[in-house]
Structure formats: C-alpha cells, structure tokens
Amino acid sequence: MIESADFSGKEMCRLGNVPFYLCGFDVGAYQYSTSAGAREDLYLFGARQYLDCVSQTLSGNNVLPRGTYVKFDIDSYLESMVAEEMMTETPTNTAPMTETNS
C-alpha cells in the first residue's frame, strides 16, 4: 500500500515537473538543499513554465494594449527568502561589545 502511494506521488511529481525531494520523497542518495535553493528549484522546475504561459497570454494584444507586457517579479520572490534567512540567523562567534575608557 505504501509503495503504491509513493508511486502515485512520484508520478504527480513527474507530471508537474517537480523534483522528488521538494515533495518529500526519497531520492536514493542524500542531497543537501537550503530553503533558498529549494525555492529556486521549485520556481525553475515546477512553476516557471506556468508563469511564462500566463505572462505570455496576458501580454497578448487581445488582452492588453499593444506594446504592454506582463512580467512576474521573480527576483523579489527569491530575494525575500534570502532576506528572511539572514534575519533569522544569529551570529555564533561574536564577543560581547565592551567599552573601554583610555
């Protein structure tokens, strides 16, 4: 029963072009991935083709005036993840600041 569920889940990953490890399936060998890297992979392998299709459709002359284009702001999506990670990290090798009077 478990193997059947794994097979069905992996088939859904194949249909959606999403790497197995992003959906929590075992890939055989251990693969280290940061959350920022996983976000990039999710965009690159899973969402990019759909976002490109939507932006091209909305940029058509029958939807918007000629010369007007729609583009998703993916850079801010990826940068926000990096900023969130930097805010949550705490320095481990810092000494407390002390004041000295000379």
Determine, yes or no, domain membership for 60: yes
Q: What is the pLDDT of residue 57?
A: 92
Q: What is the pLDDT of residue 94?
A: 44
Total of domains in the chain: 1
Instruction: Using alpha carbons, select from 70, 72, 74 the residue that is nearest to residue 59.
Output: 70
Q: What per-residue string of b and e applies to 48-74 under the rule 16 or more CB within 10 Å gives b?
A: eeeeeeeeeeeeeeeeeeeeeeeeeee
Return the higher-pLDDT residue of 67 and 96. Answer: 67
Which pTM value belongs to this model?
A: 0.54
Determine, yes or no, domain membership for 94: no
Q: What is the pLDDT of residues 32-88, one digit of tens each?
A: 667 777 778 878 877 888 889 999 999 988 888 888 888 888 887 777 666 666 666
Determine, yes or no, domain membership for 99: no
Return the higher-pLDDT residue of 29 and 39. Answer: 39
pLDDT classification of 97: cutoffs 50, 70, 90: very low
Determine, yes or no, domain membership for 81: yes
